[in-house]
Every structure is written in structure tokens, then in C-alpha cells.
Amino acid sequence: MRKSLHISSTATFVFIIVIISRTLCVCCHPHHLQIQTLNNPSTGNSFCPLRLPNHMQRMASSNKALVEYLWSSGVIGSTKVAEVMGAIDRALFVPSGTPAYVDSPMPIGYNATISAPHMHAMCLDLLEKHLQPGMHALDVGSGTGYLTACFAAMVGPKGRVVGVEHIPELAAQSIKNIEKSEVAPLLKEGVLSIHVGDGRLGYPDCAPYDAIHVGAAAPKIPQQLLDQLKPGGRLVIPVGNIAQDLKVVDKGLDGSISVRRETSVRYVPLTSREAQLQGY
Ligand SMILES: C[S@@+](CC[C@H](N)C(=O)[O-])C[C@H]1O[C@@H](n2cnc3c(N)ncnc32)[C@H](O)[C@@H]1O
């Protein structure tokens, strides 16, 4: 009896966290939302009970189980990405008390979220060829530092990875998170660094980059990020306001830019610190 009460309160807690993170407008692929609006389908403003797909109702029991789920459902398509996500334990990056192994974004404070595991996996897959050993990467809106840590694991000790986050408290916490992870030695050696700043400006000191990832939705692709992309490099960025697309931007060896749409997404905005702290 006690056990079943415990299980149902854990399930309720996870359900509430998932609903809060959804309501916050967070970093996920909307097809994973499966929202069924009962009263007002045209605006979606009325009470929206979530019909969660099976994978989100269950919490994986470990990081390994979460990665196996992402692999078996086809979200991860590369053994290297599976290896890296298996090595960087998501539990080290979520606030204490937050369920780590649910395929859902989670609130991290300051009106921000850690992105859903399927988005982390998708972005790592898209950037894999540009995160080879020795390459340089920039993670804009690095938040918890989870993806920045994955980038460091991909490029290794001869590479360089920079995270830029504009909320100082999140940047400080991300450094603590990384210090507990597999890539702590890379942080110590200076291969990986986190900086407080406006990521819309990129981080020119370590440019150009083979890979740039943006973890928040920009109204348009910032020119500074294009300028800091190496010829042959790739930028992955969510673009849009309410309707957002994940864009894959490739810079040719001749400097030409090509942009394609990968999928629809829902991210927090890439904005000013003031706007974010005021709730956008
Ligand atoms: C979805 S969240 C975190 C994403 C990160 N990949 C993760 O999973 O932890 C997006 C982050 O972008 C940050 N952000 C928003 N606008 C920014 C800006 N102009 N410069 C730097 N960071 C920004 C937010 O503070 C937030 O931490």
C-alpha cells in the first residue's frame, strides 16, 4: 500500500514537472507534445490536458536506459552520439529533485529549461561531422552545460569548446555540473570554457568555429554567428517566435551560405537578459 502510494506520488510529481515545462514554452520537438486541446482548438489557450505518449509517461531508470530508448526509437542515429550521451549523465545537469531521465525539457530556473534529450540527440547528430576530434565548437545559450559537455567529449583534448550563457547564475551552476562529469579534465585543461555574455554576438575570441549550436530561438539568424562560422562549418539554430523551425546553416568552402529547415521545434527565446528575467 505504502509502495503504491509512493509510486503514484512520484508519477504525479513527474507529470506536474512535465506540464510546467511544457507550459513554459520549452526546448523540444512539438510532435513529442501530443497536446489535445479540449475547449478551444483554434487558439489552444484553454485548459490543455496532455495526452502523453508512452515514452514520456515512463521515466527511464538510468542514463543508459534513456540513451537506449533514444537509440531504439531512432532519435539517435550515430554510435558516437550514443556513446557520448551515455558517458555524460543527464542527472548531473538537472536541478536536484528534478527527474533526469524523462524525454522532456525541465525547468532550471530564470525562465530557462534544459532541453529535452531528443533535441540534444538531434542536434548532436546534425553536428557530428563538425565535432570531430580537434575541431572547434560554440554553444550559445549553454544553460546547464549538458550539450557543451557533449561537444567537448566529441572534439576531445585537441579541440576547443566555448559555451556562452547570459544568466551568470546558470553559467556558474553549469561549471559545477561539468566539474562532476566525464569531461571535467577538459574544463580544467581549458579545452572547454563557459562565458557569461550575450550569445547573439557569438564569442569572437575563439572563432572561427566548425560547429555552432544555439539553444534558444532567434527571430532571425544573427549575422555575427554566420561571420564566426568556419568555411565548411555548420550552424544549428531554432528560428522563429511562436512558430519555430530548427535551421541547419552550412557555410561552403567559398563562404556561400545555404539554409535548410530540419523540423518544427519549440524553444525559449534568444533574447536579452532583462527580457528573460521579466518572463519575456
Ligand atoms: C533551452 S535553454 C538551455 C539549453 C541548453 N542546451 C541546455 O539544455 O541546458 C536556453 C538557454 O539560452 C539562454 N539564453 C537566452 N538568450 C540568450 C542570449 N542572448 N545569450 C546567451 N544565452 C541566452 C537562456 O538563459 C537559457 O539558459
Mean pLDDT within 12-31? 52
Say whether pLDDT at 1 is over 70.
Answer: no
How many A from CA of 219 to the centre of ligand 1? 14
Pocket of ligand 1 (CB under 6 A): 27, 112-115, 140-144, 146-147, 164-167, 170, 198-200, 215-216, 267-268, 270-271, 276
Atom of ligand 1 nearest to the CA of 267: 1
| Residue 196: DSSP 8-state | E
Mean pLDDT within 61-73? 96
Atom of ligand 1 nearest to the CA of 200: 19
Residue that the C-alpha cell 537509440 belongs to? 71
Catalytic residue among 21, 115, 174, 181: 115
pLDDT digits (tens, 9 = 90+) for 88-138: 999 999 999 999 999 999 999 999 999 999 999 999 999 999 999 999 999
Percent of all residues in the chain with a pLDDT value above 70, rounded to a whole number: 79
Say whether pLDDT at 14 is over 80.
Answer: no
Say whether pLDDT at 39 is over 80.
Answer: no
Please give the radius of gyration of the chain, using alpha carbons only, rounded to the nearest integer.
Answer: 18
- How distant, in Å, are the alpha carbons of 52, 71, 95, 120, 193 from that of 116? 14, 15, 14, 7, 23
DSSP secondary structure letters along 161-195: EEEEES-HHHHHHHHHHHHTSTTHHHHHTTSEEEE
Per the annotation, the verdict on 115 as an active-site residue is yes
Q: Give the lowest-confidence range in 12-26, 111-125, 225-239.
A: 12-26
pLDDT band of residue 280 (cuts 50, 70, 90) is confident
pLDDT band of residue 57 (cuts 50, 70, 90) is very low
- Domains of the chain, earliest start first: 118-278 (3.40.50.150)
pLDDT band of residue 246 (cuts 50, 70, 90) is very high
Q: Looking at residue 59, what is its pLDDT?
A: 80
pLDDT band of residue 58 (cuts 50, 70, 90) is low
Q: Phi, psi (5° rounding) for residue 38?
A: -85, -50
Mean pLDDT within 1-29? 50
Nearest CA to ligand 1 atom 13: 141
Task: Report pTM.
Answer: 0.86
How many A from CA of 105 to the centre of ligand 1? 13
Say whether pLDDT at 47 is over 50.
Answer: no
Q: How many residues does the chain have?
A: 280
Atom of ligand 1 nearest to the CA of 198: 20
Nearest CA to ligand 1 atom 12: 141
How many A from CA of 277 to the centre of ligand 1? 12
